[in-house]
Structure 1
Amino acid sequence: MAVVPERRLALLGGGFSTEDDGLLDDWVLDQVRTPRPKVCFVPTASGDAPAYVERFLAAFRSRPCEPGVLHLFRRELDDDALRSFLLSQDVVYVGGGNTANLLAVWRAHGVDRLLREAFDRGTLLCGISAGANCWAEGSHTDSFGPLTHLPDGLSLLPGSVCPHYDSESGRRSSYRAAVATRALPAGWAVEDGVGALFTNGRLTDSVTRTPQARLYRMAPDGNDSVEEQALPCRLLAAAHQPSAPA
């Protein structure tokens, strides 16, 4: 009987683009059983910003992996090569930026369909901010300027996602209102510093690089309000601690 691959994705509240300790990026790589996994960065949400790409490469070239980048604003791969490239990756790591624009560009190039196929084959999908929003049924976003709800996404993760829950003014109240009124389905609020791993649609690990950061499960309570449940997160530690002075 053929083994069905696990379908896994991770929501990141940090990583190489926002901090230098590398804890969340190392945690992502730890989820892959390949000795030197292929890790594809997808910077579509930032318009393939060159500085963002260079920051990714600088962070991952020193890690035990094979980093690559998918450029769509200066696309060089035909449809067959694009499919072959994406399906050969062990990790697809999506950067932050504009969620609505990201989804539109992916659909124009058929990347949304290819990511679904990769997901079904066992590729780990992950990302920060827009790169976390995109996997859900809907998300909380500033894609249109003011904070609002976006009932659109790839629906690989049931429910909705809100990034930067603790660090951006208005996020908490606006997302709570969207879930309470059912403008967005029940979902996950991710504070900066948190990583959440989902396997076959279920939360299977939650970690944090700082003791105070949390992951929240959000659901309407039936009384025009929302139930906010803080979930335990395992504190990540650096792989190599400095030696104590003699």
Structure 2
Amino acid sequence: MPAERPTIVATSGGWTRRERGGIDWAGTAHLAVELARVPSGRRPRLTYLGTAGGDQRYFSGEVHAAGERAGFETTVLDLFPMPSVEDPAAHLLTQDVVWVGGGSVANLLAVWRVHGLDEAFRAAWQAGVVLGGVSAGSICWFRGGTTDSFGPVLRPVLDGLGLLPHANGVHYDSEARRRPLVHELVGSGVLGETHCSDDGVGLVYAGTELVEAVTEVPGKGAYVVRREASGEVVETRLEPRPLP
């Protein structure tokens, strides 16, 4: 049973750090699994892509361990030095959830397109596979956003996959330059309407509609930034639903 509608969970969260090292899946990732409507009697199938971080093998090990603790059937789809499965597009279609890690969204998009994953992700999304991710793994589903892919000074990225027809701002509360740059880019028309998330917050989309914001951390927010006909940039805060 795939998701009821094409579904994306775009976040500035998804992980929590364990006291003695390693990671666990946090609330927004568990929500993505819930939205996938996995049939009872089998474990949720989740595949992780670390393309934006260069497919770091040590982190893939942490992902597998976190998946085991969560009860997920976890795989990792690497693209360096070559795809780790014979048919990546077919592999995506067998999953309940695809989760994309953070890093360089500019590099991620370039590598995905070389391997034809831009079209593969669209097909998986339309088939009901829930797409999710954090940071670069959030921005990639939109038309664009703000990124440090090109250096320490944040810049716009404008060639996202465009499954969602807006732009995306991540780490909105934890990196001082994020909010003013979003406002500047929306005001100048470089970015259109932009949906933003504080750390720990996820944005849930059914089709291309933003249906709710959720949070792993109390007090955090989500925001919609748009330019009015007058040219004024308006930011509207959305109060996220707290996750268990």
The question of a shared fold, defined as TM-score above 0.5 by the shorter chain, is answered with: yes
Question: How big is each residue's C-alpha offset from its partner over 1:87-140, in whole Å with a ceiling of 9 and x where there is no partner?
Answer: 111111000000100000000111111111101111100100000000001111
Q: What amino acid sits opposite 2:37 in the alignment?
A: R
Between the aligned partners of 2:174 and 2:79, the Cα distance in structure 1 is 30
Tell me which residue corresponds to 2:20. none
Between the aligned partners of 2:25 and 2:102, the Cα distance in structure 1 is 19
Q: CA deviation at 1:27?
A: 2.0
Is 1:163 paired with 2:170? yes
Tell me which residue corresponds to 1:62. 69
Tell me which residue corresponds to 1:134. 140
Alpha carbon RMSD of aligned pairs, Å?
A: 2.0
Higher-Rg structure is 1
Q: Which runs of 5+ in 2 are unaligned?
A: 18-22
Q: What is the TM-score when the length of structure 1 is the normalising length?
A: 0.89
Matches within 5 A, 1:23-172: 23-34=27-38, 35=40, 36-77=43-84, 81-145=87-151, 146-172=153-179
Q: Which runs of 5+ in 1 are unaligned?
A: 238-246
- Percent of pairs with identical residues: 36
Between the aligned partners of 1:42 and 1:174, the Cα distance in structure 2 is 28
Between the aligned partners of 2:16 and 2:60, the Cα distance in structure 1 is 10
CA contact (8 A) 1:139 1:152 kept: no
Query: Would you say how many aligned residue pairs link Structure 1 and Structure 2?
Result: 234
SS in structure 2 of the partner of residue 157 of structure 1: coil
Q: What is the TM-score when the length of structure 2 is the normalising length?
A: 0.90
The structure-2 alpha-carbon separation of the partners of 1:171 and 1:200, relative to structure 1 and needing over 3 Å to count, comes to same
CA contact (8 A) 2:50 2:101 kept: yes
Q: CA deviation at 1:196?
A: 1.3
Tell me which residue corresponds to 2:201. 194
Q: What amino acid sits opposite 1:125 in the alignment?
A: L
Q: CA deviation at 1:4?
A: 10
Q: CA deviation at 1:236?
A: 1.5
Is 1:178 paired with 2:182? no
Q: What amino acid sits opposite 1:219 in the alignment?
A: R
Q: What amino acid sits opposite 2:216 in the alignment?
A: R
Between the aligned partners of 1:162 and 1:59, the Cα distance in structure 2 is 27
SS in structure 1 of the partner of residue 65 of structure 2: helix
